[in-house]
Amino acid sequence: MAPVLILLGPPGAGKGTQARMLEQDFGLIQLSTGDLLRAAVKAGTSAGLAAKAVMAAGGLVSDDIVLAILRDRMAAPDVAKGIILDGFPRTAGQAEALDHLLAETGQKITAAISLEVDDAAMVGRVAGRHTCGACGEGYHDQFKRPAQSGVCDKCGGTAFNRRADDNAETVRDRLTAYHAQTAPLIAYYDSKGVLERVDAMGKIAEIRTALGQIVAAIAA
Ligand SMILES: [Zn+2]
């Protein structure tokens, strides 16, 4: 059976990178809710027109419309090798509705893969980042300091930039929001026996291998 995957992970866990690698390695197609909506609106499908009307009125597109758009998209031949869903479902209710949709065509979620991060380590990773204001060279308070404090190794510049949202508090808040939002989804897929947890703190290549093993086992 062609895999139907859901990739879950907080900002910074490498979800986008890994999804692209799964596309390369297995011919899967990543379906992101935002892209799907935009494409359906542009194509003028009935679900797309419904979404357009809601968005024009400043409303949130309902689950029914998103599901209808997803149903249309999954009927296209290019998704025959499987899909990775991105941005949907976000709630246990949406997950249940998605299960019903998939059942119409004899499909089901084959794996909900949670990219697991260590929150404290994530905060450390993101929070110390800064770049040289002159040449853009990246530095980190813990992992990559310039040889001479306050002077860029590459260009000798002495001004450094820090992104306002790369501070510890913001990162912690993002992680807290992520866990609160996804906990019911994780519990839902765990209860269905399709939850896979992958350690996302390792090297990109290691995570790719771990994900590859899961997908290969499903496709076999
Ligand atoms: Zn520099």
Binding residues for Zn(2+), by number, are 132, 135, 152, 155
Per-residue pLDDT 10s for the chain (220 aa) are: 789 999 999 988 888 899 999 999 999 999 998 899 999 999 999 999 999 999 999 998 999 999 999 999 999 999 989 999 988 898 899 999 999 999 998 999 999 999 999 999 888 888 888 999 999 999 998 889 999 999 999 999 999 999 877 788 888 999 999 999 999 999 999 999 999 999 999 899 999 999 999 999 987 7
What are the distances in angstroms from CA 85 to CA 31, 122, 165? Answer: 5, 24, 27
Q: Ligand 1 mean position to 157 CA, how many Å?
A: 5
172 annotated active-site: no
What are the distances in angstroms from CA 147 to CA 94, 144, 150, 156? Answer: 51, 9, 9, 11
Instruction: Give the torsion sign (CA, 170, 174, 180, 186).
Output: negative
- At 124 the pLDDT is 86
Could you give the CA distance from residue 117 to residue 81 in angstroms, rounded to a whole number? 29
Q: Which tokens is 43 given?
A: 């194509």
Q: Ligand 1 mean position to 154 CA, how many Å?
A: 5
Residues 45-98 have pLDDT tens digits of 999 999 999 999 999 899 999 999 999 999 999 998 999 998 889 889 999 999
Q: Ligand 1 mean position to 159 CA, how many Å?
A: 8
From 90, 162, 172, 192, the catalytic residue: 90
208 annotated active-site: no
- At 176 the pLDDT is 93
Q: Which tokens is 41 given?
A: 């609106």
- At 210 the pLDDT is 96
129 annotated active-site: yes
90 annotated active-site: yes
Determine which helix (DSSP H) or strand (DSSP E) holds 111, and give its type and residue range.
strand 111-116
From 15, 73, 125, 208, the catalytic residue: 15
Q: Ligand 1 mean position to 105 CA, how many Å?
A: 56
Class of residue 110 by CB neighbours under 10 A (exposed 0-12, middle 13-18, buried 19+)? buried
Q: Ligand 1 mean position to 85 CA, how many Å?
A: 39
Q: Does residue 108 sit in helix, strand or coil? A: coil
- At 68 the pLDDT is 93
Residue 86 — φ and ψ, nearest 5°? -130, 115
What are the distances in angstroms from CA 213 to CA 9, 34, 74, 192, 206? Answer: 18, 28, 24, 20, 11
Q: Are 6 and 171 in contact (CB under 8 A)?
A: no
From 52, 71, 174, 197, the catalytic residue: 174
What are the distances in angstroms from CA 216 to CA 21, 25, 220? Answer: 14, 10, 6
Binding residues for AMP, by number, are 33, 38, 59-61, 87-90, 94, 163, 174
Q: What are 30's strand-pairing partners?
A: 84
Q: Are 142 and 121 in contact (CB under 8 A)?
A: no
Q: Ligand 1 mean position to 15 CA, how many Å?
A: 30
